[in-house]
Structures are given as structure tokens and as C-alpha cells.
Amino acid sequence: MTLRRRSGAGGTPPTTRSSSTPGSGGARAIGGVAAEVTDYSIATPIVTGTARWFRDSADLVAFREGGGRRRRRRHSFEYARYGNPTVEVLEDKISAMEKAEATIVTSSGMNAIVATLLAVVPPGGHVVATTDCYSEARAFIRDRLSKMGIRTTFVDLDDMEALQSVLDQGNVTMFYADSLTNPHLKCVDVRRVAELCHQRGALVCIDSTLASPINQKPLTLGADVVLHSHHQNAAYMIIRGLKTMALRVEAQNRTALRVARLLERHPKVERVNYPWLESSPWHGVARKQMTGAGGVISFEVASDMRGAMRFVDALELPFIATSLGGCESLVQQPAIMSYWGKSEAEKTENGIKDNLVRFSFGIEKFEDLKDDILQALEKI
């Protein structure tokens, strides 16, 4: 999903039609869609038709001229290639949540990433990305963009001097980063990065998937584009999920923080990555620009790969799977999941240790998760 920042005085996004409190999904995430789109239905209808008819030639001409009943934000719904009423409702809701001018919903997160880069960065342009952005995005930037005549540079997320040095050389089109990062949960100081980039005419694109619009709104901090990767659900299912998203994310925030604090004190855990912990080097930035740190944590057990595997296999509640943000808890070892087949050099460069475990919390009771994690740690 790709969002564009509203342009207002001083680069500050103007007030949107929805009202929301910090951490909330916004009024329009729950309701408030245009009656002409939903036919006055409380639940957004599922529109599956391909072609839309016009009452008469005058109606068609009015539509072409951009007026009349059928006027829409884009080309309207003349044909499914140009838009769909259900999808547009979802796009409007996400725009309200992110305080954005516009949203484009695509078939996948990677599709949104590629579409953004190809639409914004021309041949001869220059993309600066962080070394620990999403691995598939990093591979596309590194391996594909150069074949299109686009220069690429990677900098450490917290190395502002390196970013400033690259910007000073000129011709940077876009800065691209994840915040939060996966799986180490690092934070980009979006406001500071935006100030540096905009002084040199560069756009800022933030992948905010792990944070979600409930916990972080990068556009209000100065970013120009925000990306989110959802899942395979159709638009109407995502719309339905948005109604309870704030409740679920806030529950995941609470559980993740409680478990992170528990693990931080456990003798069989060497390190915990979660920016809401006071011990995290990203704590200050996270507290400044987020209302919660999300439902994903990662940690290193006091063992080797086999010990980490024994821990994961002993867990009874979570599924061993990739992904995040659902109602079910998920667990994985990045070394044998997302980084399987990667070279040791690449794993070392990205901090992927054999004993690293990533946990994505669902909405199970904290006490049940706590008991399960503690018994599994005893198997190491």
C-alpha cells in the first residue's frame, strides 16, 4: 500500500476529514464512507462487477467532464481496470488513518515497493537505502535498479553522517528505509531524516509495516511515502479487519512489552530487541514518534542453533511460520527461515545469529504465552 503526504504550509499535512487520537485507527477506519459508494449500507458491499453502465449519453458526457453523480477521485468505476468501489473505500480509510492525500492498494507489499521505486526514481536517479531494510526490497534495489540506470547506495540506519555525506554529493532521488526494522526492531528518526533529505531535494519513503498506522504515522513526521505489506485478503476483508485493528494492535503492544521485560531478566536469554524497553538504543526515538512498539520482538537465547531449535520446537501455542500481525502468535528462527540459503557473510552483515528467535504475538492471554515461553526455555 502506497501513501502520499499531503502538501500544506511548511510541508505539514493539513487536517483530514477524520478525527483520531494517538494510537487510534481514526473515525473513518470504522465507518464514515460515502453513501453513494456503499448504497447506504453500514457494512461496505463487495463489488465484483467488471463494467459499469451509464443511464444515457448525457450521463456519460457528464462523467467524462468530471461532474455529475458519477464523479470520483480518480477515473471512477467505468471499468474494473480503473478502479473498484470496495477497493476505493479501503484506500480512503487507510488515507484517513495515515493522514495521507491518497492511497493505492496493490496486490502485495512487494508490488507496492517496486511500483513506488519505478514510479518515482527515473533512470539516472539515485536511491539511498538502509542496510537492514526488508531483505527482498534490498535485493531488488541492489540487483535490479542498477540494470535500469539507477544508482544505489546503502547506509546504516543510525549513521546520519553517512547519509549526510551521500546527500551532499547531490542527485539523491529517494531515501528508503524500514521503521521498525525486521527482525531487530530498530527505529529511523523519521523527522530528522526528512529534514536532511528535503534540504537536498530527496524524497523519503518509509516501510511502516511492523509499526502499523496505529502506532506510527510517518507522513506526519515528514515522510513523503509510506508502505505497508498486508496479506492475501481481499479489500472487503481488510475493511472488516480495520474496525477492530486498534484493539488488536494495542493488545499486541501490551503483550510484547510484558514478554520482552520477562525475557530481559531471564538467565537463558542473552539479548532482547524491542524499542519500548528502556535498555534499547532505539528507545528514545521510538518514544518520540510512536504510540506503541508493535507485537513483534526478537531475542537471542543463551545457546547455539540447536538450542534455539529446541526452544522453538518446545513451544505449544505459536505456529512456526513467517508473517506477523495476526490473531495467532507466530515464531521463527530467521537463520533457517527468512535467511535460509543466504551466505554467512550476509547473515553476519545483517546481524542474523543462529540463536536469534523472532516472535510475533497474537491476541492470546499473556499468562498462557508466558507459561509456554518459560517451559520452552527450560528445554535449552
Return the CATH number at 130. 3.40.640.10
Pick from 211, 213, 157, 165: nearest CA to 188: 157
Does 251 lie in the same domain as 177?
no
Cβ burial of 183 (10 Å; 0-12, 13-18, 19+) is buried
CA-derived radius of gyration, the chain: 22
Does 277 lie in the same domain as 304?
yes
Peptide bond into 180 cis (omega under 30): yes
- Look at residue 171 and give its three-state secondary structure: coil
d(CA 230, CA 212): 10
Does 250 lie in the same domain as 288?
yes
Spatial CB neighbours of 55, under 8 Å, sequence gap ≥ 6: none
d(CA 343, CA 350): 11
Residues 12-39 as b/e (b if ≥16 CB within 10 A, e otherwise) read ebeebebebeebbbbbbbbeebeeebbe
Q: Which of 192, 218, 238 is the endpoint of a domain? A: 238
d(CA 262, CA 281): 18
d(CA 30, CA 271): 39
Beta-sheet pairing, 330-332 with 319-320 = parallel
Pick from 249, 327, 262: nearest CA to 293: 249
Domain assignment present for 64 = no
Residues 354-378 as b/e (b if ≥16 CB within 10 A, e otherwise) read bbbbbbbbbbbeeeebeebbeebbe
Strand partners, 175: 128, 204
Q: Which of 185, 217, 238 is the endpoint of a domain? A: 238
Does 164 lie in the same domain as 19?
yes
d(CA 226, CA 103): 9
Does 146 lie in the same domain as 125?
yes
305: containing domain: 244-377
Does 157 lie in the same domain as 141?
yes
Per-residue tens of pLDDT for the chain, all 380 residues: 556 654 543 333 333 333 333 345 555 566 555 555 556 678 888 888 888 888 889 888 888 787 544 444 444 678 888 888 899 999 999 999 999 999 999 989 999 999 999 999 999 999 999 999 999 999 999 999 999 999 999 999 989 999 999 999 989 999 999 999 999 999 999 999 999 999 999 999 999 999 999 999 999 999 999 999 976 678 989 999 999 999 999 999 999 999 999 999 999 999 999 999 999 999 999 999 999 999 999 999 999 999 999 999 999 999 999 889 999 999 999 999 988 888 888 888 888 999 999 999 999 999 999 999 999 999 99
Q: Which of 238, 257, 277 is the endpoint of a domain? A: 238
d(CA 65, CA 81): 19
Domain assignment present for 349 = yes
Domain assignment present for 74 = no
Does 255 lie in the same domain as 225?
no
Strand partners, 299: 272, 357
The CATH number linked to 342 is 3.90.1150.10
Angle subtended by helix axes 109-120 and 135-143, to nearest 10: 30
Peptide bond into 183 cis (omega under 30): yes
- Look at residue 93 and give its three-state secondary structure: helix
Place of cell 507522513: 219
Domain assignment present for 59 = no
Does 299 lie in the same domain as 233?
no
Predicted structure pTM score: 0.87
- Look at residue 116 and give its three-state secondary structure: helix
Angle value at C-alpha 154, between 150 and 160, nearest 5 degrees: 125
